[in-house]
């Protein structure tokens, strides 16, 4: 071992080591420079971008759902309100085993099979990230029990929510309608209307009736809170808040007591009634029997209840007053009579001799009057009082289809009335043009004859009939019917009356109106087809009975109600207004399979008028049921 060599070796080794160390040091500096570059990129170049992300991370906008407006009747009786209660809700996307979770929950909270079924249905219809109620209206014990076990149920939570409730149940359900959970179709509609932002946080929307058509007013304006949240989504503090604005309260023109009396008066019958204030078009009663309990629909109806309602042959979900289309029958006659007078085809004194049938020139077909052997000598007034068919066969033939279409059309037949709920049907007032289009056939003289007594192609809804008779009562002034009387602005508490301005005033001669009125008063007087309706009334009732055929009766066959299956019996119709001189109420009533208008529909009208005009409450319902049909016919 010589020392210099070792030293040299040692030196070279050290030199070599330091060189390697230098390489490493350069590496260190380079890599740290890389980090600096990365910091520069994140913290300088992209700073704004990340700042925004951090803000979005931390701030969540939480919508505050406004209270839905109340619905009241004209006297302030509550028809729809909200109450606060707890629901148990599941966000299915956060739950691993839904079935097991529900089973576990059912040990803490009462969950019926119908709740499960309802929940399944909601699940199918919903967007999968929203929380859906498995149970509504938890009681305090259930709330406490769940809260204590909450940690076991991720994705399940209790929510305090406002619930819609319809305290009167079935009463006026077809007019009030109901709300229901927002579905895809509603969402599309909201997106189209640019209202989406206002529905953040809202689960329900009006689906039917006033709840639907006044959705905008009832919903209110959603408030919001800017909340600072942590990564778990827990709200820590509120940064800013805009209070929600409650929905407006609606006062309906409907008188719930009147409505109740009318609905009771129908007894077991199916049918519809619309009562209007002729002067301003306010809907005083709006009946479609049978009704349904709107409370069932709010959080999704369970399949059993749904099947029961949907498959019932009574069709309780069908809004007969708004959508039911029936031949107007003899209730068409006052309008025909007025047409004859106004268009100069008849004078008050013009008299026919009724043999009990009508024949068109050159045709042997007998258009029969309802009364075999006829009514003898009949002028215009008597034609209404006894409801002479023969008179109107001839009148219709003289007027011709165009005159009938144009004149009667002024009373709203064949058109929507424009009432403030959706889904109205138009009925049908036939014309040559319509027949060509619909059947590719020309119009026959026989068509005109049938139309003259409200049969044939004629169809009208009970609402249209009520509207038409109210125009008659209002001496030709047309006022659109409406259910809502006033809207109370929730912010200012100011009432805004809904006043339908007269849409038109028909050009009618007072003496002609007077004559038709007198004839209609005669209907409820001794000798009229509804004499019993006017019996002992301290006010005059102008009315007209009607019958709508359900099954066609062959020539030479007599209609005998008792021989015909109940569902094939004729529908009874009744239109009226009272007091005849200064009308305050006008109405149309339809009783399905009720037979003769005067005997089943008439008493309902009388009870309604007695209550509305005199405040008289009927002791017991008059019409007991379908078996009480008399063998009478107009």
What is the set of active-site residues?
330
Q: Does 20 bind another protein (CB under 8 A)?
A: yes
Q: Does 5 bind another protein (CB under 8 A)?
A: no
User: ∠ CA(23), CA(29), CA(34), 5° rounding?
Assistant: 125
Instruction: Restricting to residues 56-75, name those near another protein by CB under 8 A.
Output: 57-58
Residue 300, Ramachandran bin (φ over 0: left; ψ between -120 and 50: alpha; else beta) = left
Please report whether residue 165 would count as binding another protein according to CB under 8 A. Answer: no
Burial of 104 (0-12, 13-18, 19+ CB in 10 A): middle
Q: Is 632 in the site for another protein (CB under 8 A)?
A: no
Nearest distance from C-beta of residue 4 to another protein, angstroms: 17
DSSP state of 618: P
Interface with another protein (CB under 8 A), residue from 7, 8, 11, 21:
21
**Residue number with CB closer to another protein (53 or 141):** 53
Shortest CB 61 distance to another protein, Å: 16
The two counts, helices (H) then strands (E), for the chain are 21, 23
The smaller minimum CB distance to another protein, of residues 26 and 100, is found at 26
- Residue with token string 């109210």: 470
Q: What x/- string results for residues 342 through 361 when contact with another protein is judged by CB under 8 A?
A: --------------------
Residue whose entry in the numeric block shows the structure tokens 């148990």: 88
**Of 22 and 625, which CB lies nearer to another protein in the complex structure?**
22
491 part of the interface to another protein, by CB under 8 A: no
Select from 53-61, 219-227, 340-348, 365-373 the region that touches another protein (CB under 8 A).
53-61
For residue 379, how many other CB atoms are within 10 A of its CB?
A: 18
CB-CB neighbours of 63 under 10 Å: 16
Q: CB–CB of 280/583 below 8 Å?
A: no
Question: Total binding residues for another protein by CB under 8 A?
Answer: 37
Distance of CA 331 to the CA centre of its chain: 26
Confirm or reject binding of residue 40 to another protein (CB under 8 A): yes
Residue 140, C-beta contacts closer than 8 angstroms, at least 6 positions apart: none
Instruction: Rank residues 24 and 553 by Cβ distance to another protein and give the closer one.
Output: 24
Of 405-444, which residues contact another protein (CB under 8 A)? none
Query: Minimum distance from CB of 223 to another protein (Å)?
Result: 24
Alpha carbon distance 282, 507 (integer Å): 23
Q: Which residues pair with 283 in a beta bridge?
A: 276
**Residue closer to another protein, measured from CB, 233 or 619:** 233
For residues 134 and 200, what is the distance between their CA atoms, to the nearest angstrom?
Answer: 21
Q: At what angle do helices 333-342 and 389-409 cross, to 10 degrees?
A: 70
Across-strand partners of 71? 80, 250
| Neighbour-count burial of 155, counting CB atoms closer than 10 A to its CB (0-12 exposed, 13-18 middle, 19+ buried) | middle
For another protein, the closer of residues 50 and 83 by Cβ is: 50
Q: Is 615 in the site for another protein (CB under 8 A)?
A: no
C-alpha atoms less than 13 angstroms from C-alpha of 389 in its C-beta half-sphere = 25
The minimum distance between CB 24 and another protein, in angstroms, equals 6
Among 36, 144, 505, 535, the residue binding another protein under the rule CB under 8 A is: 36
Question: Would you count residue 51 as binding another protein (CB under 8 A)?
Answer: yes
Distance of CA 495 to the CA centre of its chain: 24
Closer residue to another protein (CB): 53 or 551: 53
CB of 1 to another protein, least distance (A): 10
141 or 239: CB nearest another protein: 239
- Residue 93: CB minimum distance to another protein, A: 12
With contacts defined by CB under 8 A, name the span among 55-63, 143-151, 472-480, 497-505 that binds another protein: 55-63
Choosing from 26, 50, 148, 514, the residue that interacts with another protein (CB under 8 A) is 50
Nearest to another protein of 33, 441 (CB atom): 33
Q: Which has the closest alpha carbon to 575: 384, 358, 318?
A: 384
DSSP class per residue in 18-84:
HHHHHHHHHHHHHHHHHHHHHHHIIIIITHHHHHHHHHHHHEEEEEEPPPPPPEE-TTS-EEEEEEE
Q: Is 72 exposed, middle or buried (0-12, 13-18, 19+ CB in 10 A)?
A: buried
Residues of this chain, 203-262, that bind another protein according to CB under 8 A:
228-232, 236
Indicate whether 160 belongs to the interface with another protein (CB under 8 A). no
Distance CA(282)–CA(252), nearest Å, equals 9
* Sole binder of another protein in the list 13, 307, 624, 630 (CB under 8 A): 13
Residue 231 vs 552, nearer CB to another protein: 231
Smallest distance from another protein to CB 36, Å: 7
Task: Cite the beta strand spans of 340-449 per DSSP E.
Answer: 352-354, 357-358, 367-368, 376-378
In the complex, minimum distance from the CB of residue 232 to another protein, in angstroms, rounded to a whole number: 6
Residue 26 near another protein by CB under 8 A: no
- Rule CB under 8 A: say whether 505 interacts with another protein: no
Q: Which residues lie across from 180 on neighbouring strands?
A: 205
Q: How far is the CA of 323 from the CAs of 79, 271, 332, in angstroms?
A: 23, 12, 19
Burial class of 29 by CB neighbour count within 10 A (0 to 12, 13 to 18, 19+): exposed
Min dist. Cβ of residue 225 to another protein (A): 16
- Closest contact distance (angstroms) between CB of 19 and another protein is 9
**Which residue has tokens 């600096």?**
36
- Per CB under 8 A, the segment of 50-58, 67-75, 133-141, 202-210 that binds another protein is 50-58
Interface with another protein by CB under 8 A: which range of 43-51, 148-156, 185-193, 392-400? 43-51
Residue whose CB is less far from another protein, 233 or 526? 233
Sole window of 51-59, 93-101, 345-353, 426-434 interacting with another protein (rule: CB under 8 A): 51-59
Supply the minimum distance, in Å, between the C-beta of residue 13 and another protein: 7
Interface contacts to another protein, rule CB under 8 A: 13, 16-18, 20-21, 24-25, 28-29, 31-32, 34-36, 38-40, 42-44, 46-47, 49-51, 53-55, 57-58, 228-232, 236
């Amino acid at each position: 071992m010589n020392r210099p060599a070792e030293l040299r070796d040692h030196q070279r080794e050290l030199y070599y080591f330091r060189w390697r160390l230098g390489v490493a040091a350069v590496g260190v500096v380079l890599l740290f420079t890389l980090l600096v570059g990365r910091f520069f990129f994140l913290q300088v170049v992209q700073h704004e971008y990340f700042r925004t992300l951090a803000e979005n991370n931390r701030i969540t906008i939480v919508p505050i759902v406004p209270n839905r407006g109340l619905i009241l009747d004209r006297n302030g009786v509550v028809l729809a309100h909200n109450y606060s209660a707890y629901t148990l809700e599941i966000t299915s996307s956060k739950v691993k085993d839904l079935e097991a979770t529900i089973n576990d929950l059912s040990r803490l909270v009462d969950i019926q099979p119908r709740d499960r079924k309802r929940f399944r249905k909601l699940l199918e219809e919903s967007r999968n990230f929203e929380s859906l109620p498995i149970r509504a209206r938890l009681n305090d014990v259930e709330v406490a029990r769940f809260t204590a076990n909450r940690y076991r149920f991720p994705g399940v939570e209790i929510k305090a929510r406002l619930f819609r409730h319809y305290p009167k149940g079935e009463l006026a359900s077809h007019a009030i309608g109901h709300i229901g959970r927002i579905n895809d179709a509603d969402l599309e509609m909201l997106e189209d209307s640019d209202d989406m932002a206002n529905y953040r946080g809202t689960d329900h929307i009006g689906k039917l009736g006033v709840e639907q058509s006044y959705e905008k007013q009832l919903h209110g304006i959603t408030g919001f809170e800017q909340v600072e949240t942590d990564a778990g989504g827990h709200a820590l503090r509120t940064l800013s808040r805009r209070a929600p604005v409650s929905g407006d309260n609606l006062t309906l023109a409907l008188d719930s007591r009147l409505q109740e009396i009318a609905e009771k008066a129908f007894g077991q019958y199916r049918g519809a009634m619309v009562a209007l204030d002729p002067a301003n078009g306010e809907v005083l009663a709006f009946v479609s029997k049978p009704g349904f309990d709107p409370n069932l629909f709010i959080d999704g109806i369970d399949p059993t209840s749904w099947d029961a309602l949907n498959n019932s042959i009574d069709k309780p979900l069908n809004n007969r007053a708004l959508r039911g289309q029936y031949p107007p029958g003899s209730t068409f006659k006052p309008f025909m009579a007025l047409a004859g007078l106004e268009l100069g085809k008849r004078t008050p004194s013009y008299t026919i001799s009724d043999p009990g049938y009508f024949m068109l020139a050159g045709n042997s077909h007998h258009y029969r009057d309802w009364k075999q052997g006829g009514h003898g000598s009949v002028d215009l007034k008597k034609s209404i009082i006894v409801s002479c068919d023969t008179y109107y066969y001839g009148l219709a033939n003289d007027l011709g289809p165009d005159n009938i279409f144009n004149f009667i059309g002024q009373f709203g037949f064949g058109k929507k009335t424009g009432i403030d709920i959706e889904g109205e049907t138009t009925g049908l007032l036939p014309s040559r043009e319509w027949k060509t289009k619909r059947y590719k056939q020309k119009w026959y003289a026989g068509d005109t004859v049938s139309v003259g007594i409200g049969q044939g192609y004629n169809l009208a809804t009970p609402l249209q009939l009520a509207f038409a008779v109210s125009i008659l009562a209002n001496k030709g002034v047309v006022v659109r019917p409406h259910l809502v009387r006033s809207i109370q602005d929730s912010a200012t508490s100011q009432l805004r009356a809904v006043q339908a301005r007269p849409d038109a005033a028909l050009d009618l001669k007072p003496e002609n109106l007077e004559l038709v009125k007198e004839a209609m008063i005669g209907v409820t007087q001794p000798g009229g087809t509804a004499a019993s309706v006017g019996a002992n009334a301290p006010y005059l009732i102008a009315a007209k009975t009607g019958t709508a055929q359900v099954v066609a009766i062959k020539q030479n066959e007599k209609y005998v109600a008792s021989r015909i299956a109940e569902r094939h019996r004729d529908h009874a119709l009744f239109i009226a207004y009272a007091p005849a001189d200064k009308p305050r109420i006008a109405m149309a009533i339809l009783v399905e399979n009720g037979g003769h208008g005067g005997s089943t529909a008439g008493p309902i009208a009388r009870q309604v008028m007695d209550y509305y005009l005199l405040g008289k409450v009927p002791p017991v319902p008059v019409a007991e049921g379908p078996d009480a049909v008399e063998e009478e016919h107009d």
